[in-house]
Chains A and B, each alone.
Chain A
Amino acid sequence: MRMADLIDANPNLLLMLQHFNIDFRVSDQTVMQLCGSQDISENLFVSIANLYNGFGAKGHQPFTRKDMLQVIEFLKRSHNYYRWDKYPQISSYIRQLQEDHAEKELRLLEKFFNEYFTEVLDHLDYEDNVAFPYFITLLDREKRAEEGELYSSKEYSEHHTDIELKLQDLKNLLLKYVKIDGDLDLRRKLFFALYELEYDLYIHSLIEESILIPSGVSIERAQHV
């Protein structure tokens, strides 16, 4: 299967390529060739691509240590996509909306979003600074266990939930309740940005739940034996 055809069928895979730090000019390479040239295991690449294409990640081979390190890099890059691209974009749309319309709810909506954005940044920082280093330590067999007392994969999985819920609130408020007259161009852009964000956040948590955390837990178990 050529990568270009896969992208044609689901352009969201471009986002995946970017998170893998792979250039969009994929030429006529097949998935196998692309993985080979990027030094990414086909198992990992296909598992994540399947998530983007709406399939579960079941049935994959166990991931190697190198896979896991690449997953962490992937997740970090997607954090940057939220941090520097999607959230600022949404923020600027909401700002614009607030400036264009007198409705007072919009001031509150902006406040809601700004508080939410701050929470998201905290969470992303937390993952980058606490959770991912922990996983990397876990993967580094030389160092082993002591830090493991402070933190565990399970704790990590309990930590990320709120982000998607508040995004849902924001969408519901805009779709169902807050009355805004006209300005459909801006509002459409806002909605599209929200849905793009929601989509990638969803895949992001699937990767964490179906790849990162299970692998982390199994390494922990192996080490505690």
Chain B
Amino acid sequence: MRERSMYKSPLHIVIMESSRIIYEGLQAIICQSELGCRTSRIETLEELSVMLGTTKVDILIANQLQFVNREKEIRKIRKAHPTLSVAGIESGIMQKQSVLTDTSFTLYDSAEHIIHTLEKLERKNQSPALLNNESDSLTKREIEVLTGLVNGMLNKEIADALNISIHTVVRHRKNITVKTGIRSQSGLTIYAISKKIVEIEDIEI
């Protein structure tokens, strides 16, 4: 968490909660944690929209009661700001997890639990960037096929080992090439090592 502040702007958490007791309690818990963030307080969705226009908001913590009958507006905001994560505060009145939030906690959860929930959200926050980096990310099966390829196995051998048809192996190979942009087997070997899919020690040089 601390590393984050060294090269990124600190996490910005916005709390939308009309109760001052709850707001200040949450703020205290967050500030005493190692999240390394700054917090702002707002009271309405309109304020959120205005704020999003000028500042980046990473996480919104909101009393879920404030979402009642506002689904459309919230969806619109989330669509316009896909990196915004939303954590709901459950008051115990609404039992089911709202589809509008990514996670939630109750007023009776421990401070550790709340921080843990926010940390998970923060990681999810970073994932869009990660996803972009890894638009080449391969499925588990593709990785298995690639491992076979890199080890010099023939299509038939890979098919037998994975208990799939040769046709399927060929399809996986095609997808691997489309995703990675690498066609040759020796190029794929270097790819697999760079991505730590195989160990360089396993490859004969």
Contacts and interface: CB of A to CB of B under 8 A. Distances in A.
B47 interface: no
A108 B191 contact: no
B200 A108 contact: yes
B200 A168 contact: no
Interface centre among A109, A115, A169 (most CB of B within 10 A): A169
Given A108-B200, A176-B136, A176-B181, A170 B187 contact: yes
Given A108-B200, A166-B187, A172 B193 contact: no
Nearest to B201: A104
Main secondary structure of the interface of A (DSSP, over half): helix
B194 A177 contact: yes
Given A169-B182, A172-B180, A177-B194, A107 B205 contact: yes
Contact of A177 (B190, B200, B205): B190
Contacts of A115: 186
Contact of A105 (B136, B182, B194): B194
B184 A108 contact: no
Contacts of A178: 190, 194
Contact of B187 (A104, A173, A179): A173
B190 A112 contact: yes
B203 interface: yes
Interface string B193-205: 1110000100101
Interface string B90-130: 00000000000000000000000000000000000000000
A184 interface: no
Nearest to B186: A112
B181 A105 contact: no
Nearest to A115: B186
Given A108-B200, A108-B203, A165 B184 contact: yes
Q: How large is the interface on A (under 10, 10 to 19, 20 to 34, 35 or more residues)?
A: 10 to 19
Contact of B191 (A104, A166, A168, A177): A177
A179 B200 contact: no
Interface string B25-47: 00000000000000000000000
B183 interface: yes
A105 B193 contact: yes
A65 interface: no
B189 interface: yes
A60 interface: no
A104 B192 CA distance: 13
**Nearest 3 interchain pairs by C-beta:** A169-B187, A177-B194, A172-B181
Interface of A: 104-105, 107-109, 111-112, 115, 165-166, 168-170, 172-173, 176-179
Given A108-B203, A173-B187, A177-B195, 10 more contacts: A108-B200, A109-B190, A111-B205, A112-B187, A115-B186, A166-B184, A166-B187, A168-B181, A177-B194, A178-B194
30 contacts: A104-B193, A105-B190, A105-B194, A105-B200, A107-B205, A108-B189, A108-B190, A108-B193, A108-B203, A109-B190, A111-B205, A112-B187, A112-B190, A165-B183, A166-B184, A169-B181, A169-B182, A169-B183, A172-B180, A172-B181, A172-B187, A173-B182, A173-B187, A173-B190, A173-B191, A176-B136, A176-B181, A177-B191, A177-B195, A178-B190
